Amino acid sequence: MNSLVFLTSTVKDGNMSFLRGDPKQALVNRQKFLSKFDIDITSVIDTTQIHGKRILKITRSSLGKRLTEADGFMTNLPNIYLMVKAADCHQIAFYDPKNGAIALIHAGFKGLEKGIIKNAVEKMKKNYKSKSKDLIVRFGPAIGPCCYRMDLWKEAENQLKNLGVLPKNIDNPKICTYHNIEYFSHRRYVDQNLPEDFRFATVLGLKHV
């Protein structure tokens, strides 16, 4: 049996981006965070994010390889964990319980505009025979309309509904990264002239138990 794993690191866990600050420390931070949930870092998929709509299909052979730049992943294999980094942008997790498939995307203003949500749903349909009405979608922390010129929460939710995802299956806790200091925020970094522009991580996987 597989259980769904959905985790988000906090400021206390440290920076999770290899492109921000010391990459060696970021690796240590990742290992410590993942070990708390008995996840081996070698089973985690990650790549450079580019604010686009590319989503990679992950197989066993993907582990340990240098992947092309992308803003999302999908798989139907257990014990493979998908990771995206953020500091205001959405992290949106998709779960198809009927076909045992998942996807995780990084979606800011540019990604939403380019159609990464639509791409995720379409790719899950094509690769795993998923249906929109069966998808369960969960949001991680992201900047709210209180602190950004656009309501990214509403935009993402509307796109999901327009693609046939049922409103009852959309879980958005609406945690604003700007206001909630448990999470890194790029906009807070700019506004408050903070010393480091770090990133937290969201991880999604199907753990075989």
Alpha-carbon span 206 to 129, nearest angstrom: 18
Angle in degrees, CA 187, 91, 81, rounded to 5? 130
**Domains delineated in the chain:** 2-208 (3.60.140.10)
pLDDT score of 205 more than 90: yes
Give, for 156, the enclosing helix (H) or strand (E): helix 152-162
Residues shown for the chain? 209
pLDDT digits (tens, 9 = 90+) for 80-120: 999 999 999 999 999 999 999 999 999 999 999 999 999 99
- CB-CB neighbours of 22 under 10 Å: 11
- What's the pTM value of the predicted model, to 2 decimals? 0.97
Alpha-carbon span 128 to 122, nearest angstrom: 10
